[in-house]
Structure 1
């Protein structure tokens, strides 16, 4: 099933305010879940294993799942690298980006974050993300650093 960009964005936006949880969103099915303290590198003590929420790839996993009518489990529940390498992800140029596309931060050998581009809102390019511990899912102006743009096909 093709990706319904409006449903994808709406699914992500509906999660605004959801707690960030390292490893959250990686349960047996896409959606909020308890996180994990395994491989956790954030502020201590780790509370991820007591927090239901999303990490960045968990949020993107859920939004894409909803946007494809619950048919595409991007990265099969894995992390940002699994999503980046998923055969349904087409890498595109920044000039070709559009609402609903993904931005993977850094480089193919060091992907550490993914966000959902939601397009231009009130004259500003915006994205939605689960950024880091103690910051709930939020919509913010697009941060352009080293990044790789992608579209789910």
Structure 2
């Protein structure tokens, strides 16, 4: 099932303003959900288990799911590492990136964040992410051009 880049980006953009929630987006099916305070290390007290929203991998999971016509659930609801290691994810070079690709932050043994690359807008490379507690899903300039890049096959 090929990825429809426009649908993938539209799905992510439609979630702008949704709260960040640690573990959010990892329910039985892709989509915003209550988060969890298990393994949470952000600001205290943890409010994730009372907040419906997305964490970074939950948002990317949802966007790819809709962009593939609800056919591909990368990482099967797991974290950034399970998404990066999913057999349906092709690792690509930073130089070959294009809109709709996924950028993972960290190293192959320690991935700590993921975002959806949406390409150049007004000359700036942009991405959509669920960044951290207290910051809703937002569109921002690309912070990491040499990250671990991937494309869903």
State the TM-score, normalizing by the size of structure 2.
0.99
1:146 Cα deviation from its structure 2 partner = 5.4
Aligned twin of 2:33: 33
Structure 1 residues 146 and 112: alpha-carbon distance in aligned structure 2, compared to 1, 3 A threshold: farther
Aligned partners of 1:62 and 1:109: how far apart in 2? Answer: 24
Aligned twin of 1:17: 17
Pairs aligned (count): 153
**Runs of 5+ consecutive residues of structure 1 not aligned to the other structure:** none
Summarize deviations over 1:36-73 as a string: whole Å, max 9, x none. 00000000000000000000000000000000000101
Structure 1 residues 43 and 53: alpha-carbon distance in aligned structure 2, compared to 1, 3 A threshold: same
State the TM-score, normalizing by the size of structure 1.
0.99
Aligned partners of 2:78 and 2:108: how far apart in 1? Answer: 16
Aligned partners of 2:106 and 2:26: how far apart in 1? Answer: 22
Aligned twin of 2:138: 138
**Consecutive aligned runs of 4 or more in structure 1 exceeding 4 Å deviation:** none
Summarize deviations over 1:125-148 as a string: whole Å, max 9, x none. 000000000000000000016520
Aligned partners of 1:89 and 1:28: how far apart in 2? Answer: 20
Q: Is the 8 A contact 1:105 1:145 kept in 2?
A: no
Aligned twin of 1:56: 56
Aligned partners of 1:31 and 1:76: how far apart in 2? Answer: 12
